[in-house]
Chains A and B, each alone.
Chain A
Amino acid sequence: MDKTFIKAFREIVRKEIIKKNTVEISGFGRFEVIHQKQHQKKKENGQLVMMPPRDFVVFSPEDSGDQ
């Protein structure tokens, strides 16, 4: 496993994730971007704020993956 490959892997997956594409690697897991809409959030001090929307990178391991 050489560095070039890892670099290429990283760049490609990154690029696809940023394009909001799902990258699913069978036998490993799935990378996807989940969008969280803006939402109201009440803080402990009673302050109520509108949280801006946000995208999360989420990795879901494949069930079949052994440990």
Chain B
Amino acid sequence: MKIDKQKLIELLVENTGLEPDAVESQLEQLITKIREAAEKGKALEIKSFGMFYYSQQGDLKFDPSEDLETEVNHKYAGMEPVEIKKPESTVDDPLTRDPKPTDETTDGEEIDTDRKPAADWKEDEDGDFKKTAETDETAPSDAPEIPLKASEEKKKEKPEDEIKAEEDDAPDKQEKPADEDSVLAKKDEEKSNEKTDDEEKEAGDQDDFNPFSELGRILGDPDMADPQSEKEKALEREESIKSLFPELPEQEKKKKEKESKLKDEQKSKKQDRKPDTDIPGKKDTSVKTDSGKKPLEKSKSKKKSPKKKEKSPVTMILVSIVAALVLIVGVIVAMDTGLFGDSDTADDVAQFETDPPGAAAEPDPGDALEDEPEENGETELDPAEPEETGIEEETEEDSLYGLTGNSREIDANYYSIILHSMSSESNAQNMQEQLQQEGYRTVIASVSTEGQGTMWRVGIGQFPTIPEAQEAAGELPQNYRENNFIGLIQQ
């Protein structure tokens, strides 16, 4: 509503009992006086109203008096700024933990910019940096030590075993929040993929120059297989040897073997992968082959492995054993972790993906074990940080928070969309009932304010975070959407 001069004069007449003309002239006098004072560089103050003065730019300015401001803002009396993010000096684990798994780099950056003051933080910074570096690159062997110290100091509150867990994790580039586990797992897979890919490449290279490496792989085959399949293989091998090289002396066999390997170089790569898949296949469904390739390879391996045994130079055996062990360990672990469940039907690409965990086998289970303690440790620590627990609770129990339904008892602080701020409790309760009937979950909070006494805030919805409350507020009917504020309800 707009009060123009005419209306104002009417009101003044009413209030003072003066004649309209008199009021008007008084008003003019007042205006003139204000202007004159201001022009002289003085401020004219009307008590309990405000002060008129000219700004340096020559504009007439008005500063409302404090009590006028307070009165205008009575609805918001007692409202304090709500902290969303802690200042740098007090920033702690929440920052390092909050960041979502995919934000590791941004996490690092945040920490970089946020943490300057204390020595502790610098160490954190280092640690966190290392973390990101570790995860982005591939395992610098000495890097973990520094993050260790940082994490130890950073989380002094943590029980020893938790720290240990972190220590253990650090070398494995796993010093991360629990909620990043899945991503970590993925990353590990990727890393191990890379590793095994590399290994395979190396193996392939070795094939080019050194046929023995292939022998190793072939030797590895039977070892990796189940006893039954081993026996079967052994039998098959003997048969194939007899049938294929009945009259050949050992030396000739060796030569032939090398030749065949050279010819089969291309195939040998496939063999590298197939042994892994063959084994699980046998494990799961006894001797089973998906394609024509595998049988071929088997026969090849049969041919070659026996020869090797016959040759039995110490060096050859050693080389082959080492190569075999690598593959065996890899495959066994991979099978244990159930990665090869579908390997029978999997194509080469899939096999590639599953191979890596095998190669990186030993680190993997360790990581998994070490991750869990850290996870526990963090969830235990979380309660100390309201916001974070709020988020977690939200994900775990969606029904705890929401806009509609019945309000729930929530132990932690939460946010609500405040629609009314009343000076009387009964009025507030009336508003609450009304909102309740509209289907909202309602909250009443009393706030004692200076000058205004106790204010009763009527809010709808319970939200763990401000953004969620804002989102919900944005979807309210217009009359609520335009006039509300998010309030922190403290328990």
Contacts and interface: CB of A to CB of B under 8 A. Distances in A.
A2 B23 CA distance: 10
B: contact size bracket: 35 or more
Interface in B195-242: none
B120 to A, nearest CB: 16
B71 A18 contact: yes
Interface in A11-67: 11-14, 16-19, 21-29, 31, 33, 37-38, 40-41, 43, 45-57, 59, 61, 65-67
Given A19-B1, A47-B86, A50-B81, A1 B26 contact: yes
Contacts of B68: 14, 17-18, 57
Nearest to A16: B3
B262 interface: no
Given A27-B31, A47-B86, A5 B5 contact: no
A24 B91 contact: no
Interface stretch (B52-60, B265-273, B276-284, B343-351): B52-60
Nearest to A2: B26
Contact of B62 (A26, A31, A38): A31
Contacts of B114: 46
Contacts of A22: 1-3
Interface stretch (B8-16, B101-109, B156-164, B372-380): B8-16
Interface in B16-56: 16, 18, 23, 26-31, 33-35, 39, 46-50, 52, 54
Nearest to A61: B60
Given A11-B15, A45-B87, A59-B61, A24 B26 contact: no
A20 B49 CA distance: 15
Contacts of A11: 15
Nearest to B32: A1
A55 B27 contact: no
A49 B82 contact: yes
16 contacts: A1-B26, A2-B26, A8-B16, A11-B15, A21-B3, A27-B31, A31-B62, A46-B114, A50-B84, A52-B485, A55-B72, A55-B76, A59-B50, A61-B59, A61-B60, A65-B35
Interface of B: 1-5, 8, 11-12, 15-16, 18, 23, 26-31, 33-35, 39, 46-50, 52, 54, 58-62, 64, 68-69, 71-73, 75-76, 79-89, 91, 114, 466, 485-486
Given A8-B15, A50-B84, 20 more contacts: A6-B30, A12-B12, A16-B11, A21-B1, A21-B2, A22-B1, A28-B31, A28-B34, A29-B62, A33-B72, A38-B485, A40-B84, A45-B89, A47-B88, A49-B83, A52-B82, A56-B69, A57-B50, A57-B68, A67-B58
